[in-house]
Chains A and B, each alone.
Chain A
């Protein structure tokens, strides 16, 4: 049983560009959350998707948007990239009404 998978693993983008990151949740999980982790910091919650809708959102600007597909996979989109968006982006999935979140390996985004 594959765990949470994210793609790509690494990505380099230029300031002002747009990026899309992808996440496939663990089998049987219907809730997907995204986190941003800057170097030396703990992960920061971006948003959570359940039933293809954004259910909770952290303190991130509208440049950060997402989508969840009927198969529960999810995308994170970031527009107008800033140098400060450079970070490890983590996807976590969990089954309904379960408190344990399973994280993927993350996507390392570098904005130059």
Chain B
């Protein structure tokens, strides 16, 4: 599974757009990019997943350039409740059945009023 690198922490203010970039230089052809969110003392929660270009859902957008060596999670107009740790994961999900997720250190996002 490809190793990922993301900032340890980020600060933002309410109402701003937050972009968290993840580097995955060794991503393989069959790998997908997945982001999870985790609040203190809770399990991680799936946010979004993509393979290439752009994916958008009701929570976030995921931008993946053509070389797929990095990806950016975009959170529009963050609120205090978006304060959490965000994990970028890369792997071939076809045979994982949702298991064996490899988490890194994550990015601790702090949203201030």
Contacts and interface: CB of A to CB of B under 8 A. Distances in A.
Nearest to A91: B43
Interface residues of A, number: 33
Contact of B41 (A35, A50, A88, A95): A88
A41 B102 CA distance: 12
B113 interface: no
A105 to B, nearest CB: 6
Given A42-B103, A99-B49, A106 B42 contact: yes
A101 B36 CA distance: 10
Interface stretch (B18-26, B64-72, B74-82, B92-100): B92-100
Nearest to B105: A42
- The size bracket of the interface on B is 20 to 34
Contacts of B98: 31, 33, 92-95, 98-102
* Interface SS of chain B: loop
* Interface SS of chain A: strand
Contact of B100 (A45, A90, A98): A45
A90 B36 CA distance: 14
A40 B98 CA distance: 23
A103 B94 CA distance: 19
Interface in B17-42: 32, 34, 41-42
Contacts of A43: 44, 101, 103
Q: Which of B41, B97, B103 has the most CB of A within 10 A?
A: B97
Interface of A: 4, 31, 33, 35, 41-45, 48, 50, 55-56, 58, 88, 90-106, 108
Interface of B: 32, 34, 41-46, 49, 87, 93-94, 96-106
**9 closest cross-chain pairs (CB), A and B:** A94-B98, A103-B43, A42-B103, A99-B93, A48-B99, A101-B98, A33-B99, A31-B97, A100-B46
